[in-house]
Structure 1
Amino acid sequence: MEGKAMPQEESVLRLGRDEALEAARLWQECGDAREFACRVLGSVMNALMDSEAQQMCGASRNERSDGRENSRNGYRPRSLKTAVGDVELEIPKLRHGTYYPEGMLARWSRVDTSVAAIVQEMYVCGVSTRKVERVASKLGISSLSSSEVSSLCSDLDAEVAEFRRRDLSGTPCCYLWLDATYMSCRVGSSVVSQGVVTAIGLGADGRKHFLGCDVVDTESEDSWAAFLGGLRERGLAGVRLVVSDSHAGLVAAVSRLFQGCAWQRCVTHLQRNLQSACSGRPEDSKAAVRDLVHAAVYQDDPDLARCVWAEAAPWVASVSARAGEVFEQAEDSALAFTAFPRAHWAKLRTNNVQERANREIKRRYRVVQSFPSRESMLRLTCASLMETEGQWSQQRVFSEASAAEGFAEPADRPAPTEGRRRALGRRAREIVDEIVERRGLKKE
């Protein structure tokens, strides 16, 4: 009849009197809704399997029939892990051949999709296998072995592979931060230290981007060159400055793969190198070296920064000849950032961008303690980086206009006039003398 909606077919399962009584009995026996759901699901699945086995036999159980093709031979108990809990099944056995409800169990899976999603998320967040098992228990899963957790987490491999192979031609980066962090991993029959090398770039959109990661035995020139070459092959371009520590293999690979790019030596790592070179010296002397480096690299005027560096060099050498050599050789690389826009200096002096990312990786690693394979190490690292990349997509380091300045060729600064050089020299001596006097430093 026009104007009257047709009645919708109800999707509610209607129970007969006997089924309703059985459901009521189960409800009374069960301690909570989860147990009730497991019992009901088990009853339904067992009934479906009985029906399938009956069709394969060509007759009902204990039925005499000329059309019988097989006979039943009891049941095989099986516990199926699902999000509602462990469901106890009785899989029919046959006299001849086998029966296995692959389609039915595959639909639910050994641990169904919702549980898998939880386990994967916990794994990415660095939760230990033992804690994963405890949470699974609260979800009704009585046990979840380490191998099952690892099997579930291997589903991340496709995403990880796509992340590592993605095209970078649409993501030009003016700055590139490189670093490696070391973690324990089983290789063959031994647990050894393996390096995870990572690259972070600043894109034209003013955001940070994880460009790639890999697992290496050591930071050799060849391993870094292979990693950086992979970035170039995937389309990375536009790099004007590379920030890293002074590892010889890394520096050599950068000079080979990124010819024409400036290299910034991380000032924090330089400070550590100088402190190591001053080993055995008085604490005030080592503190003076720290202060002298800080005074030079945190000047607003690039010319004054170099004057302070030159003025400080003999004082650093007076503390330690080895430290003096390191300090003198590091001038150009430690002050390379001054050729770039002043608004970017805070991000370019050090490799803190990488250090923060490494801390997040190590936080997840601490609960793992030792990876069972290089693949699992790479999986967790990349999953962590992918998660951080998602967070970075919501925030900018610089505006697009500011980031564009990083791609521009650094302008040549005019040489200071004679009068300006004298003024800079006087100011540099004042800065250095104040530090020397405060720390009680004396030339040996």
Structure 2
Amino acid sequence: MTQLHFNLNMDKLKDEIMNSNMNAIYKSTAVLILNEYMEKERDEFLDVPPYARTGSSRDYRNGYYEREYLMSIGKVKLRVPRTRSGEFSPSIFEKYQRCDQAFVLALLEMVVNGVSTRKVRNVVEELCGESVSKSFVSSLTEKLDPIVNKWANRNLANTYYPYIFVDAMYIKVREHRKVVSKAVYIATAISEDNQREVLGLKVDHTESYEAWKSFLKELKGRGLHSPRLMISDAHKGLKKAIQEEFLGTSWQRCTVHFKRNIVDQLPKKGMSEVITGLKRIFKAVTPDDARNFKEEFVTRYEEDPKLNQALKTLEEGFDDAIQYLNEEEKYHTFIRSTNSLERLNEEVRRRERVIRIFPNTQSAFRLIGAVLMDYEGQQKNKKRFIRNKS
């Protein structure tokens, strides 16, 4: 390992201290040390002291070249020694590569956490004393591509997920010089050891049967096994795709969306007692209790013509909305609705609002994928959200 024994240029360092700010002092000190370090490395590589003449030298000194280098304290200009053959390479750049990576990762974390491009540019300028363009920030975020792609295509065959949640949200994307709306499909799950995981995502043109079928096929292609229960809203195309792609899987209609659909068909006034009776149905612990509560509710209000449409909706969607009652009671709160996925969508939306319009589909996939990876990492660091009963 190279040992440093050298004299600093104290006059130059003193001048920097007296006439510059601290950032300039840090930079000038780093430059002096690093330049001297590289000089010593070249001496060791040649195994010949400066100005010495010997026939056994493996190479010859060949002056210097200047190179700008970005460190955590900002950008510095180094005087890099070289040899005639070009075989010598200072280890400085390898050793300080971790510093560069930490700097880039910090900027990427800012982007993932919803910091605007403008603010990121301001931070870079403050740290480095250099103004940067939007393209510079974009080039940094592109470093996420291989990471997100690897995660989004990982194998799912080694874990069984009994409960899977699927939903879609809409974002704005620039495409062919126009701003268009695109659907983001997201699938999450509860594993057998009670961990929440994000299974995957897809950005497509619109929410349709064909798009949902394609998304589910991709999950199956990655090894996803048919779950016991799939939880979603009542999108007809999604329901049809689930029935075709996951034979034997029960479909659970989100009870929150279902109750909201029923309430929307009630008169606006004087319905508090009716709504209380409706909620009672979905507080049942067993399918038989839920059916009994439902029959009582229908018998009580079936003569009221104002409630006909609401009762019809209840009857048509009831069986799909109580599938969760066939599972263990400890899971009921977690699998009767898509609330957990809705909260995740809101987290994505919070960071997406900063961008407002994605420049292209890949940038949308990149950022949303990074947000989902971050969420999944947080979940894995938490204790299992359902404690197994002994």
* TM-score interval for Structure 1 and Structure 2 normalised by the shorter chain: 0.7 to 0.9
Give the corresponding residue for 1:417.
none
- Contact kept in structure 2, 1:83 and 1:141, CA below 8 Å: no
- Kindly tell me: are residues 343 and 104 of structure 1, through their superposed partners in 2, closer, same or farther at Cα, counting changes over 3 Å? closer
Structure 2 residue ranges without an equivalent (≥5):
39-64, 81-88
AA aligned to 2:287 is: P
Alpha-carbon distance in 2 for matches of 1:381, 1:395: 25
- Kindly tell me: are residues 81 and 327 of structure 1, through their superposed partners in 2, closer, same or farther at Cα, counting changes over 3 Å? same
Give the corresponding residue for 1:190.
178
Q: Per the alignment, in what secondary structure is the counterpart of residue 260 of structure 2?
A: helix
Give the corresponding residue for 1:25.
15
Cα deviation digits, residues 327-371 of structure 1 (max 9, x gap): 111110111111111111111111112111111111111222221
- Note the aligned Cα RMSD (angstroms): 3.2
Cα deviation digits, residues 87-136 of structure 1 (max 9, x gap): 46899xxxxxxxxxx99998789x93232111111111111122222332
Give the corresponding residue for 1:129.
117
- Kindly tell me: are residues 254 and 21 of structure 1, through their superposed partners in 2, closer, same or farther at Cα, counting changes over 3 Å? same
Tell me by how many angstroms 1:46 deviates.
10
Q: Per the alignment, in what secondary structure is the counterpart of residue 277 of structure 1?
A: coil
Alpha-carbon distance in 2 for matches of 1:190, 1:359: 25
- Contact kept in structure 2, 1:186 and 1:371, CA below 8 Å: yes
Cα deviation digits, residues 278-307 of structure 1 (max 9, x gap): 4xx22333x455333311010224312112
* Number of positions where the alignment pairs a residue of Structure 1 with one of Structure 2: 352
% identity of equivalent residues: 30
- Is 2:11 the counterpart of 1:11? no
Give the corresponding residue for 1:309.
294
- Contact kept in structure 1, 2:182 and 2:204, CA below 8 Å: yes
Of 336, 358, 363, 1:376 maps to 363
Larger radius of gyration: 1
Of 328, 345, 363, 2:315 maps to 328
Alpha-carbon distance in 2 for matches of 1:186, 1:292: 47
Give the corresponding residue for 1:340.
327
- Is 2:126 the counterpart of 1:142? no
Q: Per the alignment, in what secondary structure is the counterpart of residue 183 of structure 2?
A: strand
Give the corresponding residue for 1:67.
none
- Is 2:87 the counterpart of 1:115? no
Which TM-score applies when normalising by structure 1?
A: 0.71
Of 131, 140, 165, 1:177 maps to 165
Alpha-carbon distance in 2 for matches of 1:139, 1:127: 16
Cα deviation digits, residues 242-282 of structure 1 (max 9, x gap): 0110011111111111111111111111122223334xx22
Alpha-carbon distance in 2 for matches of 1:187, 1:288: 50
Cα deviation digits, residues 377-406 of structure 1 (max 9, x gap): 11111111111111211321334679xxxx
Residues 252-271 of structure 1 mapped to structure 2, 5 A cutoff: 252-271=240-259
Alpha-carbon distance in 2 for matches of 1:197, 1:146: 28
- Contact kept in structure 1, 2:226 and 2:249, CA below 8 Å: no
Give the corresponding residue for 1:282.
268
